[in-house]
Amino acid sequence: MRTRLPVVAGVVALVAVGLLPPAVSVGASTTATRTDFDGNGTSDVAIFRPSTGGWFVQGGLSTTWGTTGDVAVPGDYNGDGRTDVAVYRPSDQSWFVQPSGSFPAGLTTQWGVTGDIPVPADFNGDGRTDIAVFRSADQTWYVQGGIATQWGKPGDVAVPGDYDGDGDADVAVFRPSDQTWYVQGGLSTQWGAAGDVPVIVPYATRLMY
Ligand SMILES: [Ca+2]
Ligand SMILES: [Ca+2]
Ligand SMILES: [Ca+2]
């Protein structure tokens, strides 16, 4: 008769011998959990329907927010641990964050110029998603109320993310020509082959890719 190691015990054993990294707790407002609409710490299965501005979270909210042409830019803009429904309107660079129970006023703001790509992320690490755009023309990142920094070269794709795990989003680009990832103030690493597309490209970027 064979005996099986319980799965949990097996994972613990693998961690103990260094074959698996220990679990890392992730803050509710990081980009890793940007679709946690109910704030329970797990990402929700959710879709955005561009044709109607419909948002549908499995087992959760169903709402209409946005109109044809808008792009989804969900994020935790008020830092309450729940992802907020939000859209960016490329035609006039308006941002609309839907009011919710813990965010009654919502948020409406204009940020960007024609052609900018929205790259919302928590760049200053305060737990709130920051309104931000990447300007392909001069490869400059503009964070509302924060930094403006040039990072990238023509043709680069904005791929913000917390690459060093310190809790704030890092300015970073992927260069299709040499498949190299350049993180501002951090590492540069080659990963990919010609024609590859970075997985983490934000939804809004994909539309404009
Ligand atoms: Ca929120
Ligand atoms: Ca922030
Ligand atoms: Ca970081």
Centre of ligand 1 from the C-alpha of residue 51, in Å: 25
If you measure from the C-alpha of residue 84 to the centroid of ligand 1, how many angstroms do you get, rounded to a whole number?
5
153 alpha carbon to ligand 1 midpoint, in Å?
Answer: 33
Q: How many helices (H) and strands (E) does the chain have?
A: 2, 15
CA of 179 to the centre of ligand 1 (A): 34
Instruction: Tell me the C-alpha distance between 178 and 190, whole Å.
Output: 7
Contact 125, 146 (CB under 8 A): no
What's the token pair of residue 165?
A: 């795990």
* Nearest ligand, measured from the Cα of 187: 3
Tell me, what's the pLDDT at 20?
36
Nearest ligand, CA of residue 39?
A: 1
**Could you read off the pLDDT of 127-179 as tens digits, one per residue?**
999 999 999 999 999 999 999 999 999 999 999 999 999 999 999 999 999 99
Kindly tell me if the per-residue pLDDT of 36 is higher than 60: yes
Specify burial of residue 157 (Cβ count, 10 A radius: 0-12, 13-18, 19+). buried
Give residue 100's Cα distance to chain centre: 20
Q: Which residue has the tokens 């961690």?
A: 15
pTM (2 decimals)?
0.81
